[in-house]
Chains A and B, each alone.
Chain A
Amino acid sequence: MPENPDPVVAQNRTIEDDDAGFVARCQRGETDAFAFLVRRHQKKMLNIAYRMIGDYDEACDVVQEAFLAAWRAIGKFRGDARFSTWLCGIVLNHAKNRLAQRAARSRSEGASLDDPAISADGCLLNEPCCREASVIEQIEKRERDSKVQGCISALEDGQREVLVLRDIQGFSYEEIGVMLKLSEGTVKSRLFRARNAMKAGLLKVFGDLT
């Protein structure tokens, strides 16, 4: 569980960003520096997008678009927050846009082949391949993860993004507040509601969690 940062200390401390040097080079137009940033952050961004959208291929598209948007806008990045925080905000926006497009499409056309395939028991069918040792264990884990992902996808948008950022990605309340442009109090109250909703969803899928 991520530690709860003291807001006063968080406000007064100087933001140390390992990416600052690469960002400066990117701002001078060096694509090699941006390639390094892509390499460093692609996995985290992909996981955020995947947990938000619930579809691996769509998550890959979203992350690709988000990196491209980040490259276009990197000249405007002033270093007020960490680069990773700024990048997460872009990924989240693209993911939410994709969800909104999907919702609009499903309202007008009904179920689409592009929608994440969820089985009758709530499992996601379009799952990424995992590189686990045992095939049986891999299958069991895949099933459980897809059920959990189904519960995450069933959350409201506001609760889902807070849960993903805090409980899965481990961002601080302050960083989440910066990304979502919310106060820390709002972030916490959303998170507590999301956790209760998540517990209820998991209880429904798995039965007794204890």
Chain B
Amino acid sequence: MTCNEIENRLPAYLENNLSPEEKKNIKGHIASCPRCSRAAEALRKAQGIVQDLTEVEPPPFFEQRIMSRVREEAAQKQGLLRKLFYPLYIKIPIQAFATLMVAVMAFSIYRTVMPELKDLAPPAITMTEPAKDKATPESHKTPVAPAAVTPVMRTPAGDLPEKKQQRLVAPVIEHGAKADRVAGSPSPLQEEQAVTIKPAAPPAMAVREKEKLPLRAEALRTTQDRADKQEAVQSFETLLPERKRKGEMATVGAAPAPSQATDATAAKRSALDLTIHVRDVHVAVREVEERLGQVNGRIIERQRRDGREFLIAEVAAQNLAAFLDRVETVGRVKVEKGSRDVPGANVTVNMEIAGEP
């Protein structure tokens, strides 16, 4: 190792940053070489001189100068933030108003969407009709397998949970069962299903069903009767103001509603409209109720308007003649619509009890 090489390695040697062997070599060389020994000493001195440099002091108010600029900068930054989010007396009302608006919008959207959600079920049931139409006679005799119906059901409803699919399949099974019930005994469970599903089905569909399966009326009688009662009440009520306008004192429940639904249900309805002129309306009402009780009939709806009583009663068809005979003892009876020979199990009798003119 030459002296120049030793001089270059001296800083590392003094820093104790060499391998022991290299350190030993340099140490031996320095001990025998005055030039390298002086170089090592000069290096130590130079480091000492550098480290001995006097530290300079910051100028007066150096910190204040720095901080004045920092605060200026911070004020600008805060000013921007303040514009966006402060003061609180503006920020808080804005936030509260925004929250309120979000809540109102959410509620209005919910109310808008809700009817559409309710209408989701009927299309699913309607889709079963083609399946029923396409069904072979064998399919009427045997219950429809759910697997055969499921693809049809999935089309509008998508991938529904299993329970929902079962619920949607139920009417299809019922169609098959209806045919069985024509020949056999009706199942109470199936009747209950028919009762629950029937109102959801469109009226047009009900007409089609009736045309195609007239004999199942026996099985659906309970359902139809309930629907008849409701529709009779509705038509009776809706017609009252119209009649009043026309001055038709004696005619009650004669004109069918123009809507498609009313047309469809009119075919199923067995109704009789009466006007009874009596001396005392209150007494007459009690007497009519008595007569109804004698023929096992009952009052469905009762209204009083302009000194007249409007009653809707239900009587068994075979007891209708007896009821009319009995009611004639109450007052002067005028049959406005219908006849004594009404088909069906039960007859809805619309009565207007008025005083003698």
Which A residues are closer than 8 A to B by beta carbons?
Answer: 1, 4, 29, 31, 34-35, 38-39, 42-43, 46-47, 50-51, 56, 59-60, 63-64, 67-68, 71-72, 128, 130-131, 141, 144-145, 148-149, 152, 163, 167-168, 188, 191-193, 195-196, 198-199, 202-203, 208-210
Contacts and interface: CB of A to CB of B under 8 A. Distances in A.
B53 A34 contact: no
B294 to A, nearest CB: 92
A42 B63 contact: yes
A31 B71 contact: yes
Interface residues of B, number: 38
Contacts of B15: 4, 188, 192
B159 interface: no
Interface centre among B10, B15, B46, B63 (most CB of A within 10 A): B46
Contact of A39 (B16, B42, B63, B70): B63
A203 B56 contact: no
Interface centre among B10, B59, B69, B70 (most CB of A within 10 A): B70
A192 B47 CA distance: 11
Contacts of B65: 64
B1 interface: no
A167 B52 CA distance: 10
Contacts of A31: 67, 70-71, 74
B41 A210 contact: yes
A81 B239 CA distance: 90
B90 interface: no
Contacts of B16: 4
Contacts of A145: 53-54
Contacts of A46: 56, 58, 62
Contacts of A50: 56
B49 A148 contact: yes
A177 to B, nearest CB: 15
B46 A199 contact: yes
A60 B49 contact: no
Contact of B53 (A42, A149, A203): A149
Contacts of B43: 195-196, 199
B79 to A, nearest CB: 12
A68 B55 contact: no
Given A38-B67, A71-B73, A148-B49, 14 more contacts: A31-B70, A34-B67, A34-B70, A42-B58, A60-B58, A64-B62, A64-B65, A149-B53, A163-B50, A192-B8, A192-B11, A195-B43, A195-B46, A210-B38
Contacts of B38: 210
28 contacts: A1-B47, A4-B16, A31-B67, A38-B63, A42-B58, A50-B56, A51-B53, A63-B62, A64-B62, A64-B66, A64-B69, A71-B70, A128-B57, A130-B56, A130-B57, A141-B54, A144-B49, A145-B54, A148-B53, A149-B53, A163-B50, A167-B47, A188-B12, A188-B15, A191-B11, A192-B15, A195-B47, A199-B43
A123 B311 CA distance: 125
A38 B58 CA distance: 11
Given A42-B63, A60-B59, A203-B42, A148 B70 contact: no
A72 B72 CA distance: 12
A42 B66 contact: yes
A198 B50 contact: yes
B78 interface: yes
Interface centre among B66, B70, B78 (most CB of A within 10 A): B66
Contacts of A130: 54, 56-57
Interface centre among B16, B39, B41, B56 (most CB of A within 10 A): B56
B17 interface: yes
B231 interface: no
A67 B8 contact: no
Contacts of A60: 58-59, 62
B282 interface: no
Contact of B50 (A59, A141, A167): A167
A19 to B, nearest CB: 16
